[in-house]
Amino acid sequence: MKAYVFPGQGAQFTGMGKDLYEKSSLAKELFENANSILGFRITDLMFEGTDEDLKQTRVTQPAVFLHSTILATVLGNSFKPDMVAGHSLGEISALVANKTLTFEDGLVLVSKRAIAMQKACEKTPSTMAAILGLDDAIVEDICASVNEIVVAANYNSPGQVVISGSNEGIDKAIEILKDRGAKRALKLTVGGAFHSPLMEPARLELEKAIKNTIFRIPVCPVYQNVNAMPSNDPEVIKLNLASQLTSPVQWTQTILNMISGGAKSFVEVGPGCVLSGLIKKIYKDAVTESAEI
């Protein structure tokens, strides 16, 4: 069985998607449609923009989504997923890939999600940090001991957890985690505390948008971030997608569950190959590849 996985924020790079636009008339049509839906030429920022341009949440999220979903579409008949999953934002790309959402509805949701998250970031100064070399339980205990909002946000692979919270909370946690033997405790250049309770205002906005969007029965199951479990039920998918913004991304368990569910190979669809690297760390014998046209 073939699993397709879709990256999230952080996978972007200048020039992303330009080769797709130039090689495929279908891709060009979809990119131009996206420019119209968003109300600005995101293609200009993707193809020619600076790193700073692409770091804006309102740009980053639609850009990564477009690269992933348009690539999957252009693959045509060779794109036949038995199961899908996406890391954070990538979950919406996965839901377009398995036909739960239309391309247009997915893009509108991504745009609303990005704007809602940006507003939540501006409301409370906050950040995230990558912690390497400690057991998940130790990271969780230390986060819980800090008298600030700070939580485990991304379980990326064994020994690699991203924490999320207020600026003070992250600073305090980093200090303790280093003392406890973390190999690295590095602040990330992100807009705010994604996948933490500080995203509650964004979750409420996204929930409203999700309720007003049609979710169809998918052609294959999606393994969702909040519980790492497969689902074919549109109502369950909706609930889990809304909860995602304030819940941790269970990526390690997702990959293990996909393997238990029969995945023999993983194809990463979108910019970069970050997920392929994580999958190899989760299961060293995993077969991974990047989608190409």
Known catalytic residues are: 88, 195
Tokens of 20: 């797709």
What number of other Cβ atoms are within 10 A of residue 149's Cβ?
18
Cβ-contact 266, 238 below 8 angstroms: no
How far apart (Å, rounded) are the C-alpha atoms in residues 51 and 14? Answer: 6
User: How far apart are the C-alpha atoms of 140 and 155, rounded to whole Å?
Assistant: 11
**Residue given tokens 């940006």 in the structure block:** 118
Q: How many CA atoms lie within 13 A of 193 on its CB side?
A: 26
CA angle 131, 291, 157 (to 5 degrees): 20
Which of 243, 245, 224, 225 is CA-nearest to residue 233? 224
Alpha-carbon distance of 245 to 128, in angstroms, equals: 14
CA proximity to 143, closest of 126, 162, 160, 120 = 162
**Residue 223 DSSP one-character state:** E
Cβ distance 73 to 30 under 8 Å?
yes
Distance CA 27, CA 211 (A): 29
Q: Which tokens is 162 given?
A: 């991203």
What tokens does 159 get?
């020994």
| Element of type H or E holding 260 | helix 251-260
